Structure 1
Amino acid sequence: MSTFMITYFLSDTLGHDHDHDDCGCNDDHSNSHEHENCGCGKDDTHSHKNTNVDINIIGKIKSLGAWAQFMPEGFLVKTNLSAQDIFNEVNSVTNKGDIVFVTKVDAKSSACANSAVLDWLSN
């Protein structure tokens, strides 16, 4: 079993090449909205970031094996999968423009201000 670091960046795009109501593409576009008085306290020209992708990525990562979240968009996972297999799994729930990075890590070749992270890598 190996340990891998998985980090990701969610772009501001939602993976759609269009932005209009009732477009007929069978996507409900429910992850973003632009309208007056939506209740979030911002002006009427904003969009909400697609948080469902973040939830999907986190769920996918947690399903791969024993995991530890060491940064907001950074996880360590102990698994028998390869880096490419992990990448393919996590990338399957991302949108266009999102970035996923997977690399193998171990305690001997890592450094961290939080010793608990290195302890977790050692076990």
Structure 2
Amino acid sequence: MPRTAIPVQEIEGNANEEIVYTAGDAANDMLFQNNGRTLLICKNGSVGAIQLTIVSVPDPVLGRTEDIVQSIPAGDDFIVGFLKPSGWNQKSGADAGKVYVNLDDDTSVSVAALSIKGA
């Protein structure tokens, strides 16, 4: 199965806008389109900690090849961004320009991707 897409919401940097969340999908993993001005929010509404992984690609500028791996305690949120496209976006194929997001559990977990205008 293909990865589940996280819709990117474009918001004004100084606006009071509602954020729409997507249910987490640990079975298929997830992805979102990244323009370098996109934040990912993960809400853990479960009763235990979950692990979120942002999958890296080889970074030609910094040489970094490690993923972002974050344990998110029960009831907490985690925000990551802005992710430089050169080190995080897939380079080819149908997923080119997208960032891979993996969850180890999706029970009561939701995610949102926000592209900030003017950032």
TM-score category, normalised to shorter length: under 0.3
Bigger helix share: 1
Bigger strand share: 2
Normalising by structure 1, what TM-score? 0.26
Normalising by structure 2, what TM-score? 0.27
